[in-house]
Amino acid sequence: MAWFRCIASLSSAIYSFFIFQYAGTHSTEILLGAALVYFFGFGLMCIKVTEGDYPPPPPLIHGKSGPWAGIQTYGRDCHSHSHYWYQWIWTLLGSVGGGVNIFGLFYSLAIGLNLKQIGEINGSSSLANMVCVFFAGWLADRYHPIRIVIVGNILGWLVLTPCSMIWLFWHPSSETVFWIRLVQTVLLAAPIGAMCAMADPPLLMRIFPRDRYGQFCSTNFLWRTIGGIIGGSVAGIFLDMVTGCVGKERAYLYIPVWHFVFGLPCLICVILLYRSWKKYGGDEAYVPPIPDYGIGPHF
């Protein structure tokens, strides 16, 4: 998984260094080019990658049949244990907190950077991430992904996010901002982000039932999508309210405040997930809780 992320980081670095600076003047060409890359990339994957054989699905709930019984079985499988609810709530809140990231470009412009500088910072971040994620993957294999994720979340909430708030109180030159952001991104954001990236999929592969891994991953994605919808919408309202108080030019500087607010409940959820993981066996004997077809989740 670390090698997969390395390739993704390298691709991102190439885009950031050589293409992003032209986004304001050649957006159509960039979007069409990206579409072609996706078309051929996914096309080759569909042609060259073949699926294996899978066991038959488990019987539907209470022996019923039909689409509704399938939906009931799916929902009950994934939501009958509080152990997994820690993951779902963490995913939901993390996506709500990350919903403000769609305004990240405006944050970078608001602190005084131009497109070329932003591209260089993002490209450097991708290269640093390519190195850091490799070591984070090794650490996750050595000490279990959940521990690496907890450390990453703690450092993100206590160190990385507060460092991003300095522009609320300090307004240096564009050149100074560039170098400070570059150092922050490479030395803080890349290693911390690499540790947090072990949440998906390395951590999911270790906590979800193997025979239901696909459906549990899809449930995680459903909660992430719901959080993204809520987060993008509510974050826009938040920035509108801030604009009314401090003006449009400074409103985007409060994006790290949004991250800070949602960072704490996410950290609490992952710690609760860790405690539950220990309860069900931990390092030596973890067994994912099997679906329970009783009434309601067992909290």
pLDDT tens sequence for the chain (299 residues): 777 878 888 899 999 999 998 988 899 999 999 999 999 999 999 999 887 777 776 666 666 777 888 788 888 889 988 999 999 999 999 999 999 999 999 999 999 999 999 999 999 999 998 889 889 989 999 999 999 999 999 999 999 999 999 999 999 999 999 999 999 999 999 999 999 999 988 999 999 998 889 899 999 999 999 999 999 999 999 999 999 999 988 999 999 999 999 999 999 999 999 999 999 999 989 999 876 554 444 43
Q: Please give the biggest Cα pair distance in the chain.
A: 68
- Nearest-angstrom CA–CA distance, 180 and 210: 44
Q: Residue 255 carries which side chain, given as an amino acid letter?
A: I
User: pTM of this prediction?
Assistant: 0.85
For residue 286 the two structure tokens come to 């973890």
CA angle at 56 for the pair 50 and 62, rounded to the nearest 5°? 145
Cis-peptide into 201, omega within 30 deg: yes
Q: How far apart are CA 161 and CA 184, in angstroms?
A: 11
CB atoms within 10 A of CB 294: 9
Beta strands in the chain (DSSP E): none
Long-range contacts of 170-177 (CB under 8 A, 24+ apart): 171/112, 172/112, 173/112, 174/112, 174/113, 174/114, 174/117, 177/111, 177/112, 177/113
**pLDDT value of position 292:** 55
- The predicted-structure confidence for 96-147, as pLDDT tens digits, reads as follows 999 999 999 999 999 999 999 999 999 999 999 888 988 998 999 999 999 9
Question: What pLDDT shows up at residue 249?
Answer: 83
Top CATH class, 2-46+91-282: mainly alpha
So what's the pLDDT on residue 68? 82
Average pLDDT, the chain: 90
Give the SS3 label for residue 298. strand
